[in-house]
Amino acid sequence: MMNLLNLFRQPRFLKNLSPQELLYRMEKYPKPVIVDVRTAIEFKKGHIKGARHFPLGSESKAAQKIIPITPVILICKTGHRSQAAAHTLQQNGFTDHYQLEGGMDRWRKEKLPVEK
């Protein structure tokens, strides 16, 4: 139930990144971990290179596989599901996490590369 409520509000601790800012961070050290919280079908249709797929609801699994001090970029279709996922990461000790502003819809609109 908490994740459902979290879909409608952006956490204060979650920072937005534009697609261009994400591209810059992908080339910078330390590289962020990109976590795509969309469904398996959405992920297979195209995702950002190097993204790890953890559908919404499995953020706890992601939290177990990523060191909490690692920068994490959350990706979904438009930005709502990544907000819900951010709450779980925060509860698991993550402090440096972001969401892709506008999600994959904006990424594609700006004609940025995707993998299948």
Residues identified as active-site: 76
Contact criterion met (CB below 8 Å) for 54 and 61: yes
Neighbour-count burial of 21, counting CB atoms closer than 10 A to its CB (0-12 exposed, 13-18 middle, 19+ buried): middle
> Which residues are 115's β-sheet partners?
47
Q: What is the dihedral of CA 60, 34, 70, 99, to 10 degrees?
A: -80
Give dist(CA 27, CA 79) in Å, integer: 22
